[in-house]
Structure 1
Amino acid sequence: MKPLVDAAEKAGVYVILDLQPGRTDFLTQAKLYRSLLARPHVGLALDPEWRLKPKQKHLRQIGSVKASEINRTASWLAALTRTKHLPQKLFVVHQFSTSMIKDRKRLDTGHAELATVIHVDGSGPQGAKQGTWSVLRKNAPPVDGWGWKNFVDEDEPMLSVPQTWRQVRPRPDLITYQ
């Protein structure tokens, strides 16, 4: 992974490490990438869909995480950023279902070292995606931004960046493709 992060740095590209930990907690997995996260152009994303309980299986169940686990990871990343005197880091939390983040209203989004973004990453027809966007924005904790994911093979139709910019309201702060 380091050669890719090096190449991104050379090209002036920001990297977001996307953690899908399975049965490991997010903080344990994030610490494995400490040396990469200590670099100014590397942020972190947490994907609760892939945070499974002992008997759950990938692609059979949708994982979930407690807000407290996200908060511990955010606190660790904020401390690393502060200690290393790094610029503010992007801290992305993926979500496409209200059940993915337990006690979401308790998310600690107050770390000045982090720009916290809830990344709405559901796939499928645009009407369903717009519905998910609306539901997840209701009663959300205060965050620095909102993200929208376009799935190349799963969205119907898949929106281009200009289409996303015109059709998604309020406009997302982060648009990604997978």
Structure 2
Amino acid sequence: MKNILRIAASLAFAAASISASAQAIQQDSTVKPTLDTARYDSLMISLANGDKTGKWPVKNTPYPKAGAILPFYRVVAYYGNMYSKNMGVLGEYEPTLMRSKLTAEIKNWEAADPSTPVKPALHYICVTAQADAGRNGLHSLRMPFSQIDKVIEMARPINALIFLDIQVGHSTVETELPLLEKYLKMPNVHFGIDPEFSMKEGSVPGKRIGTFDAKDINYVSNYLSSLCKKYNLPPKIFVVHRFTKRMVTNYQDIKLNSNVQFVMDMDGWGGPELKKGTYKYFVAGEPVQFTGFKLFYKNDIKNAPKRMMTPKEVLNLKPAPIYIQYQ
């Protein structure tokens, strides 16, 4: 009888232990991930690269929610459109070769900065500005969803991020952005806008350089943030291209939030000194949060000294760009 009682007691104790363990596991699964703020601050100081202007790192910016990509990783992206070999390297080569070239570039960046891991990305222009007004009169053409689906499939073999970029022409971000919600609710899909082709004054895209205001940018940030809340997503990266002052007006009124990581991307082409100057005055000189830098395989080598900047040269900029794009 005593042995039976002992066995029963042992079984009861084991059951209680299993129940406690299950409860602990359940409790652990509900614990929300947290951001390593000390490491974040350290990386932001490192990106400032010894900047002496006092502008970098940008002060009083919100910490991102957990799961943020920047500044823990550098993003290296291939840019383009599947219907045009002239709009960027993404559409110039068949997928296997394109991925191979992107992987090779990633290795170059990892070698130049071994302390920062790199995430590959495909930056796809899903709304393209047009010289022709088209049926809707908006001087812009939306790519079919089947093409966006192809880009997402192309990204899978290398686990690349996807950026959907819009050139609104005579349309607006308020019109175009909501149409992409089915993709932007995916955790690995991010967003970009190109002020060059936002023709607020009504001219034909390509005839002059367009513009976006802080109000347009804030609309996008708020929309992306709402998606993060609605679908419980990690922070979105939001890229704005720039190479003139007028392309982004009232930059000081751009509002940041913890669900969106803002990148001002230097989009100008030319020789190293010209690109450095553009970056200094229109990106580094008007700080928002993070910076990006575009490299052109063809346009950067048109004029003397006929060479592209190296990763090391780009990383020597103050601040160091955390988003790199190849066209």
Question: Fold match, TM over 0.5?
Answer: yes
Whether 1:151 and 2:300 are equivalent positions in the alignment is no
User: Partner of 1:99: helix, strand, or coil?
Assistant: coil
Deviation at 1:54, TM superposition (A): 5.2
SS in 2 for 1:49: helix
Say whether the 8 Å CA contact 1:9–1:41 is kept in structure 2: no
1:49 equivalent in alignment to 2:202? no
Pairwise CA distance, 1:23: 0.9
RMSD of aligned Cα (Å)? 1.6
Deviation at 1:171, TM superposition (A): 1.6
Distance in 1 between residues matched to 2:273 and 2:162, nearest whole Å: 30
Residue equivalent to 1:6 = 153
| 1:117 and 2:271 correspond | no
Q: Once the 2 structures are TM-superposed, how far is the Cα of residue 128 of structure 1 from its aligned partner?
A: 1.1
SS at match of 1:93: strand
Counterpart of 1:148 in structure 2: which amino acid? Answer: F
Provide the rounded CA distance (Å) in 2 between the counterparts of 1:44 and 1:105.
Answer: 21
- Any gaps of 5 or more consecutive residues in structure 2? 1-147, 302-306
- Helix, strand or coil at the partner of 2:300: coil
Tell me if structure 2 keeps the 8 A contact 1:121–1:149: yes
Amino acid in structure 2 at the alignment position of 1:176: Q
Alignment partner, residue 98 of structure 1: 245
Instruction: Between 150-159 and 89-98, report the one with greater CA deviation.
Output: 150-159
Amino acid at match of 1:133: Y
> 1:35–1:19: structure 2 CA closer, same or farther, 3 Å change rule?
same
Kept in 1: contact 2:213–2:248 (CA 8 A): yes
Cα distance in structure 1, aligned partners of 2:234 and 2:181:
16
Local SS of the residue matching 2:150: helix
User: Partners in 1 of 2:200 and 2:236 — Cα distance?
Assistant: 29
Q: Does 1:176 align with 2:325?
A: yes
| 1:66–1:103 Cα contact (<8 Å) kept | yes
Q: Deviations over 1:78-133 (max 9, x none)?
A: 1011110011111111111111111111111x211111111111111211110111
Read off the aligned partner of 2:244 and give its amino acid letter.
S
Task: Give the partner amino acid of 1:151.
Answer: F
Residues 1-48 of structure 1, C-alpha deviations (whole Å, 9 max, x = no match): 113213424531101111111111113211111111010000001110
Counterpart selection for 2:229 from 79, 82, 97: 82
Q: State TM-score, norm by structure 2.
A: 0.51
**% of aligned pairs identical?**
27
Which has more radius of gyration? 2
Aligned residues: 174
> SS at the partner of 1:98?
coil
Aligned partner letter, 1:118: M
2:181 maps to 1:31: no
- Could you tell me which runs of 5 or more consecutive residues in structure 1 were left unpaired when the two chains were aligned: none
